[in-house]
Amino acid sequence: MLELDVSVERRDLVVEVALSVARGERVALFGPSGAGKTTLLETVAGLAWPVTGAVTLNGRTLTATLPRRVRVPVWQRRTGLLRQQIGLFPHLSVAENLAFARHGLGRTGARDALAARLGVTSLLHERPGTLSGGQCQRVALCRLLLADVEALLLDEPYTGLDAELRRTATDTISEAATQRGLPAVLVAHELTEAQAFADRLGIVDRGHLVQIGEPHRVVCRPASRRVAEIVGYRSFVPRESGSTVIGVHPGRVVAGAHHGAGIVLSGPVVDRRAAGARWEVDVEVAGVRVTCELDDLPPSATTAVTVLDPPIFAPDGRAVR
C-alpha cells in the first residue's frame, strides 16, 4: 500500500494532500494545470521534499519529517516514475535502454512480449534521437513496466500516442498493476483518460484533494460547483424557486421533455456545432447559454431538453443534491 499525508510548499501554493492507494489499485488525479498533481508524484518519488508529513510504501517509510527526518534516496525507493521528460539514454539503443530494467521483469521473453504489445519491437536497435516523441514515450513506458518497482507513478504517460495506442497503454498499465499488486497513480489532463484508467478518481484543485471516489460518481455527483466545473459542467441554470442552481453537463442531456428523468429546460437555439458523431447545441435558458450534446439537431428554432438527474448547488457552491 502507498500512503502519503504531506504538505509541500511551492512558489505559488501549498500542496496539502492525504491519500492511500491499495496494492493493485489504480488512482487517477485530475484537475487544472498547476494544481499540484505532479508535485504529489515527485514527493512520492523523492524528488520533492515536504515541509511536514510522511510517505510510506508497503510498510517502509520513504519520507518523514517527524519524529525524525527520513529521506530514502530516489534510487532506493523502488518507485517507478514516468515523467513527461522521459529520460531515455540518448547514446544507447532502445534494447540497451530497456536493459536498465533488468532487475525487474527485464528478461528477454518478458521484454519481447511487452515490446510487441507496445509496438516497439522494430525499434530495439534504434537510438532515441531517431525516434518520434510517441515512440520514445512507448519505449519509456516499456522500460518502466519491466522494472522491479513497488509502485507506478505516471505523469501524463500518453503524450504523443494516438487513440488506439492510448487504449493499449491503459490496458497494459492496468494489467501490470493488478497482476503484480502495484499501487498506481496517474496524473491526467484528459478526463476520459483518467476515468478509463482509474478505480478511483481524485480531483485536485489549488493544492488540495477536493473529492475522490468511483470515477462515474465523481462526475455525476460533484461535491461542489468548483468540482463540477473541473469535470466538465459548462452551464449553471437558476432554479425557478430558491437561490440554488442546476449543473448541466453537456453529456448528461437528452432531446425533448422527459419529466420523469430529470429537469426540463426550454429556450431558443442560439448556436450549433458538429461534435464527432453528435451535435453540440447551445440553448438559451433564463439568460444562460446551456450547452448540450445531442444525437440530432433540434427540428425548430426553439427546443426542450432534459437534464438527466442533475446536481444542484447552493449559493456557497456546496452540492445539495
Architecture of the domain defined by 232-313: Beta Barrel (2.40)
Angle in degrees, CA 222, 181, 48, rounded to 5 = 65
What is the number of other CB atoms lying within 10 angstroms of the CB of residue 153?
25
Residue-by-residue pLDDT tens, the chain, 321 positions: 999 999 999 988 999 999 999 999 999 999 999 999 999 999 999 999 999 999 999 999 999 999 899 999 999 999 999 987 778 899 999 998 988 775 544 456 778 888 899 999 999 999 999 998 889 999 999 999 998 899 999 998 887 788 888 899 999 999 999 999 999 999 998 899 999 999 999 999 999 999 999 999 999 999 999 999 999 999 999 987 778 999 999 999 999 999 889 999 999 999 999 999 999 999 999 899 999 999 999 988 999 999 999 999 999 999 998
What span, in angstroms and rounded, lies between the C-alpha atoms of 161 and 153? 18
For the whole model, what pTM was predicted? 0.92
| Answer CATH for 2-220 from 3.40.50.300, 3.20.20.70, 1.20.120.530, 3.40.50.10860 | 3.40.50.300
Sheet holding 52-57, edge to edge: 70-71, 60-64, 52-57, 2-9, 14-21, 208-213, 200-205, 26-30, 184-188, 151-155, 79-82
Residue with cell 501549498: 14
Residues 6+ apart with CB under 8 A from 196: 167, 170
Residue with cell 442546476: 246
- Tell me whether the CATH fold assigned to 2-220 matches the one assigned to 232-313: no
Give me the residue spans of the domains in the chain.
Answer: 2-220, 232-313
What span, in angstroms and rounded, lies between the C-alpha atoms of 97 and 55? 29
pLDDT value of residue 299: 87
